[in-house]
Amino acid sequence: MKYKNTLQKGKVRYIVFKENDIWYAVGLEFNIVESGDTAQEANMLLFEALSGYVEAARKIKARPIILNQKPGSEYEEMWQNRYEEKLSKNIFSSGELNIGKILNEALIPA
């Protein structure tokens, strides 16, 4: 089976959003969710978790399936509709991170 993401290349989508008074950050293809008191904290925790996840996967030479998980339906729907006005006011950021660069570059924006 051919996977979109491998241990050397691919992308992981992420989204940072607020629900009630808590900020959440989700790495969709890895099914990682972090939370924080601020958007920046949740974002930083997610990027650290993504980096550790890829580093561990590489270390144990894991199969690519762990980098290609099916995201939870609520997160996939949020990703698909992230630019809709009613959702966008609760979304801090969204984007894609290159797997090949996750361990080679700082993930925390300046």
Q: What is the pLDDT of residues 43-96, one digit of tens each?
A: 999 999 999 999 999 999 999 999 999 999 999 999 999 888 777 788 999 999
CA dihedral sign of residues 57, 13, 95, 88: negative
* Cα–Cα dist 17/88, whole Å: 9
* Residue 4 maps to a domain: no
* Residue 108 maps to a domain: no
* Residue 54 maps to a domain: yes
Q: What is the CATH number of the domain that holds 61?
A: 3.30.160
* Residue 6 maps to a domain: no
* Cα–Cα dist 28/10, whole Å: 13
List, in sequence order, the alpha helices (H) in the chain. 39-59, 73-80, 85-88, 99-102
**pLDDT at residue 88 in the model:** 79
Q: What angle do CA 17, 107, 43 make, to 5 degrees?
A: 20
What pairing do the DSSP bridges indicate for beta strands 22-27 and 11-19? antiparallel
Number of domains in the chain: 1
Q: What angle do CA 12, 70, 46 make, to 5 degrees?
A: 40
**pLDDT at residue 104 in the model:** 65
Whether the per-residue pLDDT at 39 is higher than 60: the answer is yes
Q: Which domain holds residue 71?
A: 11-102
* Residue 2 maps to a domain: no
Q: pLDDT tier at 106 (50, 70, 90 boundaries)?
A: very low
